[in-house]
Amino acid sequence: MIRFICSILSLAMAFTVAAGGITAKAEETVKNTAKYVFLFIGDGMSYPQFQAASDYLGAIADDDYENALPSTDYDTREGAKLDGPVELSFMKFPVAGSAVTYDSCSFAPDSASTATSIATGNKTYSGMINVDESGAVSYETIAEKLHSQKGWKVGVVSSVNLNHATPAAFYAHQASRNNYYEIGEELVNSGFEYFAGGGLKKVTGPDNDKTSLYDLATEAGYKVTFTQADAEAVTAADEKVILIDEHLADSDAMDYDMDRAEDEWALKDYVAKGIEVLDNDTGFFMMCEGGKIDWACHANDAGATVTDTLAMADAVQVAVDFAAEHPDETLILVTGDHETGGLTIGFAGTDYDTYLDTLANQKISYAQFDEQYVANYKENGTTFEDAMKDVEELFGLKLTGEEGDRLVLTEYETERLRTAYDLIMSDYDPAEYTQEQGVLYGGYNPFSVTVTHILNNKSGVDFTSYSHTGLPVAVFADGAGAENFGGYYDNTDIFNKLATMLEVQ
């Protein structure tokens, strides 16, 4: 029945295209001169994510705003004037469009199908990578076309696993995004010159009985590094490289940017090294994914969402700096695959006010809080009051304090945290959650997710989901051929416009 409904939905969407709807391709009139193309994908990043990051920068930069007390009036703050948001690097691009993200069976699609649309111009079911709905027909990606038809070098960078759905959509063809080993084999066989970021999943297969993907890569001529020092030593002379971040965190992905040590490579450093490896006179294509934006939004961690969005903006700036030296030959695109979490700037409990500077009190992501603190509470018999000392140190939230301090918990907020804490100290089973508990905690640790929920709400932001939503995403463009990316269109047209401009079949 589900497949039948998805098929009907696919037919309806196809009719919309045929009728001249938003997916109809506009004629390309600008002759392309780009031979260096950067495609940045903020996984889970739509308008709320980058606007929240921009607003956050504006809030912490404005002394009057930061120190103001809430007023009694609904539309102002006593004695304070907000100067406005601070634009991220890509928000300054001269061309901005919007792309619709639905796939063959959902208006709230997943990363595999949406990245397939961007990489190949085709819709498919959620969970499928570069194959049609039957799983029998494979689609060639823009990266593969540029590599084989034009001799361009290709790089794939991600802050999450390199065989995760979004990076995989530029080199792999699988009926299931969970075929991590097979996706890894396709990575090795792609011949692409540069891979960098998080570690590979299922390196020796789901049953740990296969040859290590890293060994296969070495046999295929890749230089594989696992330390930052070795990554720093890589040059274009190495020809084909796979750089695995030395400081892998949850699920062998890179650290959330707020957890990253100052001397630890960020996403921007892998983009910079990629330019060094890929730069040549023929051309190159680099896809860079800010994957942990999505993970933070799934967990409803607004603080980590903001900082990882800022980390991607820093990575975009590296491409902008490169483009300044090649102004007539470089195209930079920044988009998202879908929105995650239903993030909103505004919360019922703060009326028309926001206090985004409050997020600056968060010093650690939910993931590290879970791993380094919460995981030990039950074993150590930690009291709620002692756990709240950690919460105050790491998130700023206080059980008591001076009147007017926004970080002091209300009776209602304290009770929410105490209820969640009592749950994690019990033998609870998320599979047996009540409906209320499922809505409150999702699949995350009840205590840590309640901490981030309360900090989010005190900041004036909120989430509606632990999953993806159907919002359109922005498409920012700068450089050679950027004018093609204005307007409102389907995400498949990102591929269509690129393929037409770059003259690949």
Would you state the structure tokens that stand for residue 66, as one six-digit string? Answer: 């930061």
Predicted pLDDT of residue 80: 57
Looking at residue 476, its amino acid is F
Residue 94 has pLDDT above 90, yes or no: yes
The answer to whether the CB of 104 falls within 8 A of the CB of 113 is: yes
Predicted pLDDT of residue 32: 62
**How sure is the predictor about 84, in pLDDT bands with cuts at 50, 70 and 90?**
confident
In whole angstroms, what is the distance from residue 286 CA to residue 142 CA? Answer: 11
In whole angstroms, what is the distance from residue 333 CA to residue 476 CA? Answer: 6
Handedness of CA 318, 199, 376, 428 (dihedral sign): positive
* Backbone torsion region of residue 30, taken as left when φ is above 0, otherwise alpha when ψ lies between -120 and 50, otherwise beta: beta
Would you state the structure tokens that stand for residue 263, as one six-digit string? Answer: 């001397």
Q: Which of 67-81, 326-340, 443-457 has the lowest mean pLDDT?
A: 67-81
The answer to whether the CB of 284 falls within 8 A of the CB of 274 is: no
pLDDT in tens, 452-505: 999 999 999 999 999 999 999 999 999 999 999 999 999 999 999 999 999 999
pLDDT in tens, 24-70: 343 444 456 799 999 999 999 999 999 999 999 999 987 655 444 44
Tell which residue, 198, 166, 197, has the closest CA to residue 335.
166
Spatial CB neighbours of 283, under 8 Å, sequence gap ≥ 6? 35, 36, 37, 146, 150, 151, 152, 153
Residue 422 is inside which H or E element, if any? helix 411-424
Looking at residue 154, its amino acid is V
Predicted pLDDT of residue 79: 52
Q: Which of 14-23, 138-147, 323-332, 440-449 has the lowest mean pLDDT?
A: 14-23
The answer to whether the CB of 317 falls within 8 A of the CB of 24 is: no
What does each C-alpha distance from 331 to 158, 309, 438, 478 come to in angstroms? 19, 21, 44, 6
The answer to whether the CB of 39 falls within 8 A of the CB of 287 is: yes
In whole angstroms, what is the distance from residue 445 CA to residue 490 CA? Answer: 36
Looking at residue 164, its amino acid is H
Would you state the structure tokens that stand for residue 411, as one six-digit string? Answer: 């009776």
In whole angstroms, what is the distance from residue 113 CA to residue 98 CA? Answer: 18
Predicted pLDDT of residue 225: 98
Residue 371 has pLDDT above 70, yes or no: yes
Terminal CA-to-CA distance of the chain, rounded, Å? 37
Predicted pLDDT of residue 81: 65
In whole angstroms, what is the distance from residue 214 CA to residue 192 CA? Answer: 15
Residue 403 has pLDDT above 50, yes or no: yes
DSSP 104-159: SS-SS--HHHHHHHHHHS----TT-BSB-TTS--B---HHHHHHHHS--EEEEEEE
Percentage of residues in the chain having pLDDT higher than 70:
90
Predicted pLDDT of residue 72: 38
**How sure is the predictor about 416, in pLDDT bands with cuts at 50, 70 and 90?**
very high
Q: Which of 27-36, 283-292, 429-438 has the lowest mean pLDDT?
A: 27-36
What does each C-alpha distance from 224 to 39, 221, 242, 266 come to in angstroms? 24, 9, 5, 18
Residue 258 has pLDDT above 90, yes or no: yes
Spatial CB neighbours of 453, under 8 Å, sequence gap ≥ 6? 300, 416, 463
In whole angstroms, what is the distance from residue 14 CA to residue 120 CA? Answer: 16
Q: What angle is formed at CA 335 by the lines to CA 143 and CA 160, rounded to 5 degrees? A: 70
What are the start-end ranges of the E strands in 327-382?
330-336, 339-340, 344-345
Say what the pTM is: 0.92
